[in-house]
Amino acid sequence: MTGVRRISILGATGSIGRNTLDVVGKHPSLFRAVALACRSDWQGLVPLARRFGPRVAALFDEEAAARAEEALKGTGIKVLGGLGGLLEAASLQEADTVVSSIVGSAGIMPTFAAVEAGKVVALANKEALVAAGRLITREAGRTGASIIPVDSEHSAVFQALMGQDRSAVRRIVLTASGGPFFGKGPEALAGVTPEMALDHPNWKMGPKVTVDSATMMNKGLEVIEARWLFDIPAENICVLVHPQSIVHSMVEFTDGSTLAQMGIADMRIPISFALGFPRRIDLGLEPLDLTALGKLEFYEPDREMFPCLDLAYEALRREGTMPAVLNAANEAAVEAFLEGRLPFGAIPEVVRAVMDTPPVFDGDTLAGILKGDRMVREAARGIISRYGEHP
Amino acid sequence: MTGVRRISILGATGSIGRNTLDVVGKHPSLFRAVALACRSDWQGLVPLARRFGPRVAALFDEEAAARAEEALKGTGIKVLGGLGGLLEAASLQEADTVVSSIVGSAGIMPTFAAVEAGKVVALANKEALVAAGRLITREAGRTGASIIPVDSEHSAVFQALMGQDRSAVRRIVLTASGGPFFGKGPEALAGVTPEMALDHPNWKMGPKVTVDSATMMNKGLEVIEARWLFDIPAENICVLVHPQSIVHSMVEFTDGSTLAQMGIADMRIPISFALGFPRRIDLGLEPLDLTALGKLEFYEPDREMFPCLDLAYEALRREGTMPAVLNAANEAAVEAFLEGRLPFGAIPEVVRAVMDTPPVFDGDTLAGILKGDRMVREAARGIISRYGEHP
């Protein structure tokens, strides 16, 4: 790596954003934060901006932007508001790498903007590739943007593929922790509250991803993401439950070799990999102690108990706009669950219902996909409202 | 891969040789055997030569060569005898790749000849790098020969390093099955017979390697081999017992990532990898089923019960001729054990005793190393004779 890499972080106040800043802060000779952006958490963003001194701070919420501007007066940091501000942070001329970690479909447009600007995109936002995978990978081909995954699973696959004979890949095996309800009977899912779903055994993540992990929709979205990141058909992507979350994923080759990437569950590992690629950064972490772990286990996922996984495979098979439909319907359902308006077990039911009579929209343009996203949410809300109040 | 790769196999009648021929036979469009060589097993070699039709068959034993010549009359296969024949097979002009799988220090000279001739050397013989690592790697640097390991452990490390940031390697972790006596108490070693030592739980190998596996000297030799193959100091090479023999070895990087190569215990995987490198060959093997295995376990090796491991680390630390001393003393001791002249537990004692008062020889030339090898064996035999008859 020559010189300092200049990093723009979209979603700076979230879990990925803060871990990214931890890596950046510990390696000032390698990285500098030139833009920090988030949706609305100005009280979270202001101290980060003071500490890391980016040229730009951007907040999607205009009112939050005004408050941040007030708080950062005199620092020389330029505060931008609204979608325009977010997109400017995503395509900032002086940024080498854009960390795209705004959660949900709100991350689609900024991710596209970074790809359009030909940046190295460290991609943590899943939904962009799920909803607009064809569009984004085509645009990356046009602009020369490279997409380096930050998700631990896709980072693992990316690492395992480096320098290998790509024509000899037989399968990608994504591992799943199984979430907080792995191994419990179906009756355990009946009374799941947001608190229970948010109690993930291995990873500390934001609420949307944690609920997706509990339904295994997270793994389904990752299957779709993997299809676009690695240009591999759905039938060659499989999922194994691995409760220890040490093997982050694997690639199986035609000669019977499997390459796996392992590590402790610390997002700074895949983040620093994406920031430093192709160099690795010494993070000063304790080495993985496999003897202390005792054992690594692997199980087939329970597809009946976690129907979201098969819904994602179905969406990928049906192609076109269906992955975007799956994604938006799931997002609406998870939101409703977190707000107590939908039982946990109804999340796949809502997604299933929307996929059965999906809104029709143009999946080949960004505008069409964003419009479709709104249409699907509306359709999902109609279905959700029928569930009535949930304690 | 363009065209057919022409392969010379040294040790064609052994376990690695036969597995190599299995791969070659199944992929006639990729590989052709142009030379088959062995020490003395002419009855094993003749049918292989008839089937694979190499240009050259070589036998180290002159009498065996004469019998093979008689048996192969009219086939057009040129039969060579003696050391000269072996070295000709090792440096055959038309061979692209030389599989060096003669067991023990008998493999040192042919391996050196193949390296000297600038071949791609698929290296299964451990002893060449253990006894003459500096000499051989220096020669490879001079001639441009590439050494691709065939040992499952080193093949795993080789695969895990491909395309990676070599400056960020923190440790190499060689896995060991633990052999047939893993987890048993020290008293279990007292009455070990050759039959017991030869009953390896996971791998089918020749007798020398199987006994080395039971004493864990095999892993010690592999540590020394890894030092030369990957140019990494001994203190950054460690050993973990992994009874399932699925993870064949690992590389740990400074960012906390570990890359591991896995597969079923089938030597055709690393062999085909070395033959086809950098392409992988579809072997039509059943995919690795991690769910059927249940679990992967890792343990620290018991260094008191298996002192050979520390003897190897000591030899590597003492450098110079000491690894060659370790190797030759061990070979003499294993031979004596297999012939019932030495108890199992005395193998490390013999090695220890020779290392305490090692013969002095020149470790910087091939002639010096071969002479040293004889001197060490003689010294070892003297020590062994004091143990008297062993039932």
pLDDT, residue B197, reads: 80
Nearest alpha carbon to residue A63 among A89, A87, A85:
A85
Contacts of A273 in chain B (CB under 8 A): 255, 257
CA atoms within 13 A on the CB side of A346: 24
**DSSP letter string over B31-79?**
EEEEEEEESS-HHHHHHHHHHH--SEEEESSHHHHHHHHHHTTTS-PEE
pLDDT, residue B193, reads: 87
Per the structure block, which two tokens stand in for B9? 């196999």
User: Which residues does residue B249 pair with via DSSP β-bridges, in sequence order?
Assistant: B174, B261
pLDDT, residue B145, reads: 98
Q: Who contacts A375 (Cβ-Cβ below 8 Å, separation ≥6)?
A: A359, A361
Contacts of B170 in chain A (CB under 8 A): 287
Distance CA B283, CA B370 (A): 38
C-alpha distance from B6 to closest chain A C-alpha (Å)? 20
Per the structure block, which two tokens stand in for A287? 């080495």
Nearest alpha carbon to residue A101 among A146, A170, A39:
A39
Domains of chain B and CATH, by start: 5-150 (3.40.50.720), 155-319 (no CATH)
Q: Of how many residues is chain A composed?
A: 391
Of A254, A263, A294, nearest to B282 by CB-CB distance is A254
pLDDT, residue A235, reads: 95
Helix (H, G, I), strand (E, B) or coil at A213: helix
Rounded to the nearest 5°, which phi and psi values hold at A253? -105, 165
Contacts of B260 in chain A (CB under 8 A): 247, 259-262
Partner-chain contact A260 B260, CB within 8 Å: yes
pLDDT, residue B2, reads: 62
Partner-chain contact A257 B254, CB within 8 Å: no
Partner-chain contact B168 A296, CB within 8 Å: no
Distance CA A63, CA A82 (A): 9
C-alpha distance from A292 to closest chain B C-alpha (Å)? 8
Q: Strand locations in B90-194, DSSP E?
A: 97-100, 120-123, 146-149, 169-176
Closest-CA residue in chain A for B283? Answer: A255
Rounded to the nearest 5°, which phi and psi values hold at A283? -90, -5
pLDDT, residue B192, reads: 86
End-to-end CA distance of chain B: 54
CB atoms inside a 10 Å sphere around CB A391: 6
Q: Who contacts B131 (Cβ-Cβ below 8 Å, separation ≥6)?
A: B105, B108, B323, B324, B327, B328, B369, B373
Angle between helices A366-385 and A108-116 (to 10 degrees): 170
Closest-CA residue in chain A for B165? Answer: A279
Provide the b/e sequence for B338-352 (b: ≥16 CB within 10 Å): beebbbbbbbbbbbb
Closest-CA residue in chain A for B274? Answer: A255
Partner-chain contact A252 B159, CB within 8 Å: no
Please identify among residues 143-162 of chain B the ones whose CB lies closer than 8 Å to any CB of chain A.
159-160, 162
- Number of A to B CB contacts under 8 A, please give it: 150
pLDDT in tens, A178-194: 888 888 877 778 788 88
Amino acid making up residue B27: H
CB A326 within 8 A of CB A311: yes
Distance CA A218, CA A209 (A): 7
CB A143 within 8 A of CB A113: no
Chain centre distance of CA A148: 12
Query: pLDDT (tens digit, 0 to 9) for every residue of chain B, 391 residues total?
Result: 568 999 999 999 999 999 999 999 999 999 999 999 999 999 999 999 999 999 999 999 999 999 999 999 999 999 999 999 999 999 999 999 999 999 888 899 999 999 999 999 999 999 899 999 999 999 999 999 999 999 999 999 999 999 999 999 999 999 999 888 888 877 778 788 888 888 766 766 778 888 999 999 999 999 999 999 999 999 999 999 999 999 999 999 999 999 999 999 999 999 999 999 999 999 999 889 999 987 999 999 999 999 999 999 999 999 999 999 999 999 999 999 999 999 999 999 999 999 999 999 999 999 999 999 999 999 999 999 999 755 4
Contacts of B167 in chain A (CB under 8 A): 279
Please identify among residues 179-238 of chain B the ones whose CB lies closer than 8 Å to any CB of chain A.
none
Indicate if the alpha-carbon torsion angle A330, A333, A339, A342 is positive or negative: negative
Of A165, A263, A283, nearest to B279 by CB-CB distance is A165
The chain-wide mean pLDDT, for chain A, equals: 94
Contacts of A255 in chain B (CB under 8 A): 269, 272-273, 276, 280-283, 285
Distance CA A259, CA B206 (A): 28
pLDDT, residue B1, reads: 53
Partner-chain contact A293 B291, CB within 8 Å: no
pLDDT, residue A201, reads: 67
Of A164, A260, A299, nearest to B291 by CB-CB distance is A299
pLDDT, residue B255, reads: 97
CB A36 within 8 A of CB A12: yes
Distance CA A353, CA A24 (A): 44
Nearest alpha carbon to residue B288 among B250, B244, B251:
B244
Partner-chain contact B281 A254, CB within 8 Å: yes
Give yes or no for B164 touching A (CB within 8 A).
yes
Q: Residues in chain A with pLDDT < 50?
A: 391
Distance CA B300, CA B248 (A): 16
Proportion of chain A above pLDDT 90, given as a percent: 87
Contacts of B295 in chain A (CB under 8 A): 295-297
Find which of B290, B298, B302 to mutate to test the A interface (most A CBs within 10 Å of its CB).
B290
Contacts of A259 in chain B (CB under 8 A): 159-160, 259-262
Residue given tokens 């013999």 in the structure block:
B350
CA atoms within 13 A on the CB side of B143: 20
Nearest alpha carbon to residue A11 among A95, A83, A91, A101:
A101
Please identify among residues 252-311 of chain A the ones whose CB lies closer than 8 Å to any CB of chain B.
252-264, 266, 268-269, 272-273, 276, 278-283, 285, 287-288, 290-291, 293-300
Partner-chain contact B254 A288, CB within 8 Å: no
Indicate if the alpha-carbon torsion angle B140, B153, B263, A317 is positive or negative: negative
Element (H, E) at A89: helix A82-90
Give yes or no for A250 touching B (CB within 8 A).
yes
CB atoms inside a 10 Å sphere around CB A63: 11
To the nearest 10°, the Cα dihedral for B291, B293, B299, B303? Answer: -160
Find which of B246, B280, B285, B299 to mutate to test the A interface (most A CBs within 10 Å of its CB).
B280
pLDDT, residue B389, reads: 56
Closest-CA residue in chain B for A273? Answer: B255
Of B159, B282, B295, nearest to A297 by CB-CB distance is B295
Q: How far is CA A306 from CA A57, A210, A381, B45, B292, in A?
A: 40, 14, 22, 57, 21
Radius of gyration of chain A measured on its C-alpha atoms: 20
pLDDT, residue A194, reads: 87
CB A220 within 8 A of CB A229: no
Give yes or no for B22 touching A (CB within 8 A).
no
CB A283 within 8 A of CB A23: yes
